[in-house]
Amino acid sequence: MLSCLRKNLPFLALETLKKHLQCGSHNAIDEVTVAIALKSCCGDLKLGSQIHGFAISSGFDSYLTVHNSLMSFYCKAEQFNRAFKIFVNLKNPDIVSWNTILSGFKCTEDAVKFSVQMHLNGVVFDAVTYTTVLAFCSDFPEVFGIQIQSQIVKYGFGSEIFVGNALITMYSRWGQLEEAKKVFDEMPRKDLVSWNAIICGYTQEGTYGLEAILVFVDMMREGMKLDHVSFSSVVSACGHEKSLDLGRQIHSLVLKTGYSAHVSVCNVLISMYSKCEFIDEAKMVFESMVNRNVVSWTTMISLSEEEAISLFNEMRLDAVYPNEVTFVGLIHAISTKDLAKEGQMIHGCSIKTGYLSEFNVSNSLITMYAKFGSMEESKKVFNDLNSREIISWNALISGYAQNGLCQEALETFLSAIMDSLQPNHFTFGSVLSAIGSAEPVSLRHGQRCHSHIIKLGLNTDIIVSGALLDMYAKRGNISESRTVFEETTERSLVAWTAIISAYSRHGDFETMVGLYEEMLKAGVKPDSITFLAVLTACGRRGMVDMGMKIFNSMVNNHKIEPSPEHYSSMVDMLGRAGRLELAEEFMDRMPTRPGLSVLQSLLGACRIHGNVEMGRKVGEILMEMEPKESGSYVLMSNLYAEKGEWDKVAKIRRGMREKGVKKEVGLSWVDVGDVVHGSMYMHGFSSDDKSHPRAEEICRMVECLGSEMKFLEIENERKRDEVLLCGHSIGAAIVHCWFFLESNLYTLFRGSGDGSARPSRCNNSEKQAKSAIFSDEKFEEAEEKHDKSLGLFVQGGKKSGSGGAVGRAVGASRVDRAGGAIARVAKEWKPVMKSTKVVENEILKKEDVAQTYAVFEICKLEDDDDVIVDDDARVIPKMESNLGVTQCR
């Protein structure tokens, strides 16, 4: 029987026992025979129980050897309670008995407690005991493992190969690879497991691929025999390092040594080639496999987005059942290829197979439906979850933000907070992105999120800091963006790109260029998004030569392939400068057909420079490409109008009506900080808005604003007309803000006409004003950052406006530091409008957003100081704004 067991023939050993029993040769059976028979059962509970009964009936249950074999059998059969019952009834258990029960524990904590009990009972540990305990220590606090190692050194077990291997594995799982390598180097003798353990440790860490490869080379020099674990580990390391040449050499060695038929080796080869972006080689390895498991199919499904569905069907025909990872990879491939119908089918398949209840599958479905724009389906999957972790909330919030449903994103975020879940950096990244993109949402949402971020200590996170500065920049508070950037400890490419884009968006060219050069000096390499921001700023500033130089540097020096957005930016730059032929030539160089943004940029330039012929040609292409895009019709109409071709203007307008094309209405959103009703959303106005309760008064004030604008000194008569015609909804928003401040927050004082006035005293204190603005926000650092100044910020944009204008009330309100009085702008205020200078290379196109700012600042003065107002209009929004107006399409 023993010889059969040694030859790995357990069933033959049992047959031998059966023959002895049938022949009545009971004398040939002893306790060793029973022990061998139990080992031959290979976890078969029914057969082992029969042998157990035979041992009891034959009197072999009094032998400790049989008891140890029974305990070992029941542990392997996952009947630990029966094994432990035998152990408890033992009178004198030996070290084998203790080790058998110790190895049977599934719970790490219970195993560690049992080993402590062994020590208290005076059991002397051997190499097997230490090896078993160290295996459990990998998932236990490091202090206990270090104590065990000190015991190993003390009692001289450090030279045991099994113990050394267990120490290497333990330190590797803790991520302490230097300690693992130290143990490995100090081992007097090493076997195959030792080498594999240290290589696996380096590979699993992910960032030590080169070290794993070097150990593998040393292993070959030592003449060690390689197995599938050795090859799997080193090939995985080649994948981490993206070392294609070395990976191919090891692949050749795999073929030479005959391990190409091993499934695990082939799986890591597929993964290695995919990480090195050699998909054809990965497919070749997959197709050459004789046996494929679920890992093989899942890797290929994740790799081949085009063939994901067909591979999934082939896998099922091959009788290989998908697992959780398979569904996640398949859903990702479907969402990437925008296959909505197939996505619903896989959703049904996940329900049928029972994998919808798996956490990762449900989250993947939420993300998939969000990419399809089906947020109702995403919400349905979310609602059906048994338990909702922060990852699920993040997927839903991100989906709402990506689909422009910013209010729903914020409501979901608040629901997550109310559900007692702590948001992480991904949560705030999505929420801040939503706030930055949501026109009707108050900036106070962003400020409160900022306060919460500071409280949680996430303000130093790279993702959060980048989202914060981008949010402030999009909402007009560029100074706060810069503050967030300066406070960022680790300035990644994302942070640099975000702040450069912010200054580019706000037209501060000098600062943007300075930051770009500072980024290059810091050794941070720009990416395509960084270059797009710089090129856009160059175009708006009319810096054609610099823009061309940066574009060539991007292509030639940084080896970045220009995207349609880059070409659009270059066409826009050349068009603004009047180089229409060069812009058209640049557009023809695009590797793909010019998109809507490129053609509209060129059409806008044709309008500015009066090139009707080229504009007509571009307009025809646009209307054929996007017949429902109103912006193209408006641009063409304006082009003909400026040339006096009114019949063509009428024809275009008539065509818009016939095709059902409607021009999007421009809105101005005013953030008045409705502290009375607790609103966190802004009020929107259109040019003909009559829905406001005080609409008549607002209209009268807007008319007064228009009459004041007639006195503007603008050199170009056409530009004068454009300034007079633009911004009606902005005026309504400003007047609404004025009415709100008068009725809710500030006391009235009247201007003296010379730009100075004495604030009137009132009972409101500065502290009450801050409480009104920030409600219940009490975070100290947030108050320090945001409560330093209060002000009104008005920003407008108009689709068909050109140039820019700045409106500011003569007179500003100040907060008296001693008395705490709060003053408001006088009712008889006279706005002073100042147009931006019209320079040949700085003319804005009609589709650009012409920004208008009106600033009412509240600052702190000494008791005897008057309010002093200068006459310079502010063009760039560098204010600390807590109240604001913004206009969008």
pLDDT computed for residue 41 by the predictor: 77
The dihedral sign for the CA sequence 234, 240, 241, 247:
positive
Average pLDDT over residues 620-632: 81
| pTM of the complete model beyond 0.95 | no
pLDDT computed for residue 744 by the predictor: 44
pLDDT computed for residue 625 by the predictor: 82
Average pLDDT over residues 163-172: 91
Q: Is 383 exposed, middle or buried (0-12, 13-18, 19+ CB in 10 A)?
A: exposed
Average pLDDT over residues 508-529: 89
Structure token pair of residue 410: 């914020």
pLDDT computed for residue 31 by the predictor: 76
Average pLDDT over residues 602-621: 85
pLDDT computed for residue 220 by the predictor: 92
Of 502, 579, 511, nearest in space to 539 by CA: 579
Residue 199 clears pLDDT 90, i.e. is over it = yes
pLDDT computed for residue 864 by the predictor: 34
Average pLDDT over residues 215-232: 93
Cα 473 from Cα 481, distance rounded (Å): 6
Average pLDDT over residues 800-826: 27
Q: Given pLDDT bands bounded at 50, 70 and 90, which one contains residue 337? A: confident
What is the DSSP annotation of 694-708? THHHHHHHHHHHHHH
Structure token pair of residue 513: 């260029």
For residue 11, give the DSSP letter. H
Instruction: Calculate ∠ Cα 817-819-821, nearest 5°.
Output: 85
Residues comprising the chain, all counted = 889
Structure token pair of residue 178: 């230097």
pLDDT computed for residue 867 by the predictor: 28
What are the residue ranges of helices labelled H in 662-790? 695-709, 717-725, 728-744, 766-774, 780-786
In this predicted model, which residue has the larger pLDDT, 259 or 870?
A: 259
User: Which residues, at least 6 apart from 457, have a Cβ–Cβ distance to it below 8 Å?
Assistant: none
pLDDT computed for residue 26 by the predictor: 54
What is the DSSP annotation of 619-631? HHHHHHH-TT-HH
pLDDT computed for residue 669 by the predictor: 64
Q: Given pLDDT bands bounded at 50, 70 and 90, which one contains residue 490? A: confident
User: Which residues, at least 6 apart from 368, have a Cβ–Cβ distance to it below 8 Å?
Assistant: 331, 332, 334, 335, 343
Average pLDDT over residues 668-682: 54
Average pLDDT over residues 220-248: 92
Q: Which amino acid is at 171?
A: Y
Q: Given pLDDT bands bounded at 50, 70 and 90, which one contains residue 18? A: low
Residue 472 clears pLDDT 50, i.e. is over it = yes
Place of tokens 């054929």: 624
Min mean pLDDT across 581-590, 708-717, 787-796 is at: 787-796
Q: Given pLDDT bands bounded at 50, 70 and 90, which one contains residue 22? A: low
pLDDT computed for residue 540 by the predictor: 83
pLDDT computed for residue 760 by the predictor: 32
pLDDT computed for residue 33 by the predictor: 77
Average pLDDT over residues 639-667: 77
Instruction: Calculate ∠ Cα 795-797-803, nearest 5°.
Output: 105
pLDDT computed for residue 831 by the predictor: 33
Cα 856 from Cα 789, distance rounded (Å): 11
Domain ranges in the chain? 1-104, 105-189, 563-664, 666-704
Structure token pair of residue 90: 């033992």
Cα 43 from Cα 10, distance rounded (Å): 11
Cα 69 from Cα 317, distance rounded (Å): 43
pLDDT computed for residue 295 by the predictor: 93
Q: Is 856 exposed, middle or buried (0-12, 13-18, 19+ CB in 10 A)?
A: buried
User: Which residues, at least 6 apart from 817, have a Cβ–Cβ distance to it below 8 Å?
Assistant: 766, 860, 861, 862, 863
| 563-664: CATH architecture | Alpha Horseshoe (1.25)
In this predicted model, which residue has the larger pLDDT, 607 or 756?
A: 607
pLDDT computed for residue 804 by the predictor: 27
Cα distance between the two ends of the chain = 87
- Average pLDDT, rounded, for the chain: 74
Instruction: Calculate ∠ Cα 597-598-604, nearest 5°.
Output: 85
Q: Which amino acid is at 607?
A: R
Cα 270 from Cα 293, distance rounded (Å): 13
**Do 694 and 646 meet the contact criterion of CB atoms below 8 Å apart?**
no
Cα 308 from Cα 333, distance rounded (Å): 7
Of 229, 225, 164, 173, nearest in space to 199 by CA: 229
Min mean pLDDT across 35-44, 101-110, 842-851 is at: 842-851
CA 635 centroid distance within chain: 37
pLDDT computed for residue 102 by the predictor: 92
pLDDT in tens, 384-415: 998 888 999 999 999 999 998 888 998 899 89
pLDDT computed for residue 13 by the predictor: 54
Return the CA Rg of the chain.
37
Phi, psi at 323, each rounded to 5°:
-120, -170
Min mean pLDDT across 283-287, 427-431, 575-579, 790-794 is at: 790-794
pLDDT computed for residue 379 by the predictor: 94
Q: What percent of the chain has pLDDT over 70?
A: 71
pLDDT computed for residue 606 by the predictor: 86
What are the residue ranges of helices labelled H in 419-460? 425-437, 443-456
**Do 637 and 665 meet the contact criterion of CB atoms below 8 Å apart?**
no
**Do 49 and 82 meet the contact criterion of CB atoms below 8 Å apart?**
no
Residue 181 clears pLDDT 90, i.e. is over it = yes
pLDDT computed for residue 399 by the predictor: 94
pLDDT computed for residue 653 by the predictor: 82
Distances (CA, A) of 192 to 171, 203, 214, 254, 770: 18, 16, 16, 17, 70
Average pLDDT over residues 335-344: 90
Average pLDDT over residues 436-444: 76
Q: Which residues pair with 814 in a beta bridge?
A: 859
The dihedral sign for the CA sequence 446, 452, 454, 458:
negative
Q: What percent of the chain has pLDDT over 90?
A: 25
Cα 616 from Cα 638, distance rounded (Å): 12
Residue 482 clears pLDDT 70, i.e. is over it = yes
Structure token pair of residue 295: 């890992």
pLDDT computed for residue 732 by the predictor: 61
Distances (CA, A) of 352 to 342, 348, 355, 368: 15, 6, 8, 19
Cα 273 from Cα 243, distance rounded (Å): 10
Q: Given pLDDT bands bounded at 50, 70 and 90, which one contains residue 783? A: very low
Cα 710 from Cα 726, distance rounded (Å): 13
Of 632, 668, 625, nearest in space to 652 by CA: 632
Residue 9 clears pLDDT 90, i.e. is over it = no
pLDDT in tens, 265-285: 999 999 999 999 899 999 999
pLDDT in tens, 562-596: 888 888 888 888 888 888 888 888 888 887 788 78
Structure token pair of residue 204: 């699993």
Residue 764 clears pLDDT 60, i.e. is over it = no
Instruction: Calculate ∠ Cα 339-341-344, nearest 5°.
Output: 110
pLDDT in tens, 849-878: 223 223 222 222 233 333 222 333 222 232
Task: Please report which helix (H) or strand (E) contains residue 833, including its range.
Answer: strand 831-835
CB atoms within 10 A of CB 574: 25
Distances (CA, A) of 765 to 146, 251, 677, 769: 61, 77, 20, 6
pLDDT computed for residue 784 by the predictor: 41
% helix / strand / coil in the chain, to the nearest 5?
A: 65, 5, 30
Q: Given pLDDT bands bounded at 50, 70 and 90, which one contains residue 834? A: very low
DSSP SS3 for 593: coil
